[in-house]
């Protein structure tokens, strides 16, 4: 008798590959970026916002976006917050040890399809990680845009991630605006949530000629999208990333379902005009 496994084509993306950690970057307390390379074979190509299932031996896997620029070809970077057993084990992985990786999966930011003269990138908290490769690539393509703007917010100045990158990005064509919820004595910038940076007291753009890429906690993306629509941004030009509990990464298990969407198959990047009605029901 022929077994189902023997008679089926098994996706290579279901098979973990061992990767070695070659560098650790402690971004701030509880958040670490791991630079990893395959033990055997070459690094796979990826596009900004794609994710991999990153695994700690004997603990489990978690879906984490690749945060290195796409033109960096000697390692992949994964920025991880210590938020549970799996992510905690990954954050503690020392240089020289191994993790497992399946992927990359998912739809990327549609940067090449942007048809507006102004590009606005908005990140909240660790949502800057899935935006990092996009930011690098948009700067590389900066001549396409009349305005290129990054608005990024965190709970406090100490929670801002990629601080060296933020300085470097601000020295390019990109305008970088930062905000925090809880300032310290040395903070001289805006105070408030990311949507508060939009409009007359903050970022002024030709909203009808703006494309927006948004990544952060669900509530941040919801209110940011609502503010953008109120300002005149076409909802079809607002793109968000979804974070759900992926398990298989191959649209087989249903763990990452949101309404009619399976995040591993249809996301993580989706158009807000399509996902908006379903994106609002997460708390129910």
**What integer is the mean pLDDT of 58-71?**
94
Do the beta carbons of residue 150 and residue 177 sit within 8 Å? Answer: yes
**CATH class of the region 10-105:** mainly beta
- pLDDT tens by residue, 223-279: 999 999 999 999 999 999 876 565 555 555 555 556 566 555 655 788 888 776 655
Strand order in the sheet with 17-28: 60-65, 51-56, 98-105, 17-28, 31-38, 76-81
pLDDT of residue 14: 77
Q: Among 3.40.50.150, 3.30.430.20, 3.40.50.80, 3.30.1490.190, what is the CATH number of 111-279?
A: 3.40.50.80
Question: Between 211 and 15, whose confidence is greater?
Answer: 211
**147 confidence band (pLDDT: 50, 70, 90):** very high
Least confident span in 34-43, 68-77, 238-247:
238-247
Equal fold, 10-105 vs 111-279: no
> What is the pTM (predicted TM-score) of this model?
0.87
Q: Inform me whether the pLDDT recorded for 8 exceeds 80.
A: no
**DSSP one-letter string for the chain:** ---HHHHSPPPGGGS-EEEEEEEEEEEETTEEEEEEEESSSPPPP--TT-EEEEEETTTEEEEEEB-S-TT--S-EEEEEE--SHHHHHHHTPPTT-EEEEEEEESB---GGG--SSEEEEEEEGGGGHHHHHHHHHHHHTGGG-SEEEEEEEESSGGG---HHHHHHHHTSS-EEEEEESS--TT--S-BS-GGGGBSTTSB---GGGEEEEEES-HHHHHHHHHHHHHHT--GGGEEEE-----SSSSSSS-TTEETTEEHHHH-BEEEHHHHHHHHTTTT-
- pLDDT tens by residue, 190-218: 999 999 999 887 899 999 999 999 999 88
Domain limits of the chain? 10-105, 111-279
What average pLDDT is seen over the chain? 87
- pLDDT tens by residue, 152-194: 999 999 999 999 999 999 999 999 999 999 999 999 999 999 9
């Amino acid at each position: 008798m022929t077994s189902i496994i023997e008679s089926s084509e098994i996706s290579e993306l279901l098979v973990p590959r061992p990767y070695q950690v070659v560098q650790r970057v402690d971004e701030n307390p509880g958040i670490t970026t791991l630079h990893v390379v395959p033990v055997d074979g070459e690094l796979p190509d990826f596009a900004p916002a794609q994710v991999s299932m990153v695994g700690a031996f004997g603990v489990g896997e978690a879906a984490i976006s690749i945060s290195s620029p796409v033109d960096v070809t000697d390692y992949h970077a994964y920025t991880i917050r210590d938020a549970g057993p799996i992510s905690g084990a990954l954050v503690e992985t020392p240089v020289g040890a191994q993790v497992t990786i399946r992927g990359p999966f998912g739809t990327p930011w549609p940067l090449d399809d942007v048809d507006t003269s102004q590009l606005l990138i908005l990140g909240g908290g660790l949502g800057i990680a899935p935006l990092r490769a996009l930011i690098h690539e948009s700067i590389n393509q900066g001549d396409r845009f009349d305005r290129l703007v990054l608005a990024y917010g965190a709970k406090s100045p100490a929670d801002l991630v990629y601080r060296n990158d933020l300085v470097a990005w601000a020295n390019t064509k990109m305008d970088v605006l930062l905000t925090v919820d809880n300032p310290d004595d040395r903070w001289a910038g805006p105070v408030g949530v990311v949507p508060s940076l939009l409009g007359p007291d903050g970022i002024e753009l030709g909203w009808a000629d703006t494309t927006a890429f948004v990544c952060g906690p669900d509530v941040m993306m919801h209110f940011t999208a609502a503010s953008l629509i109120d300002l005149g941004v076409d909802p079809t030009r607002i793109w968000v990333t979804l974070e759900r509990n992926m398990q298989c990464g191959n649209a087989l298990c249903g763990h990452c379902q949101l309404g009619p969407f399976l995040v591993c198959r249809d996301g993580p990047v989706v158009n807000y005009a399509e996902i908006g009605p379903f994106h609002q029901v997460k708390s129910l």
